[in-house]
A and B are shown apart, each in its own frame.
Chain A
Amino acid sequence: GDSVTQMEGPVTLSEEACLTINCTYTATGYPSLFWYVQYPGEGLQLLLKATKADDKGSNKGFEATYRKETTSFHLEKGSVQVSDSAVYFCALSDLYNFNKFYFGSGTKLNVKP
């Protein structure tokens, strides 16, 4: 069945450091891939998405590229800020499974000034 695996946290970085949060997936159909973010005390919100192989999603300085050959969708940012501290969830939606969503376990990012 479909599933998403992402690196365990917490990840602690200093401000302006580079960030990579790994995400790999297993899907039987043609998934679309997402990163959701949950800031402290807030609900989940979409950060970025990619709908087909080689697509790059980007938002707020974050990027992720849909790599079908490695079944990956790693989240990257060149220079993190304290305000990026949050929990990040990788997810997939499988068109051939009625758009059911599958979420990873979440990775907590702490950015220190």
Chain B
Amino acid sequence: GAGVSQSPSNKVTEKGKDVELRCDPISGHTALYWYRQSLGQGLEFLIYFQGNSAPDKSGLPSDRFSAERTGGSVSTLTIQRTQQEDSAVYLCASSYTPGQGVYEQYFGPGTRLTVT
């Protein structure tokens, strides 16, 4: 079946502009995660949606970052007034968590954001 998809695959924007990154999780997956991966670095957790619960926003680096998940499916990560240090690959992952148990994450291909 279809995996996690993200769009756009590449985004180049000017400093100070706003950008929106989209994630389409695997159908039926209740959990959705956003991460940031800077060049040569590990995964930086940004935000986590689990079903209808309030999202865990503890990883968002500043108030310029926000995310929403509509209808428990598609998610949009918004970065306002972009800065050069926002340049990175933004990864989305989803998992199916119907109850107690262990559920792996499935990752999308990422959106490479370049702020000039």
Which A residues fall within an 8 A CB radius of B?
Answer: 32, 34, 36, 42-46, 49, 51, 89, 93, 95, 98-106
Contacts and interface: CB of A to CB of B under 8 A. Distances in A.
B: contact size bracket: 20 to 34
Interface of B: 31, 33, 35, 41-43, 45, 48, 50, 53, 56, 91, 93, 95, 97, 100-105, 107-110
Nearest to B109: A43
Contacts of A89: 42-43
Given A101-B93, A105-B41, 15 more contacts: A43-B107, A43-B110, A44-B43, A44-B91, A44-B93, A45-B107, A46-B105, A51-B102, A89-B43, A95-B102, A99-B31, A99-B50, A101-B45, A103-B43, A106-B42
A46 B95 contact: no
10 contacts: A42-B109, A44-B43, A95-B100, A95-B101, A99-B31, A99-B95, A101-B93, A101-B105, A103-B42, A103-B43
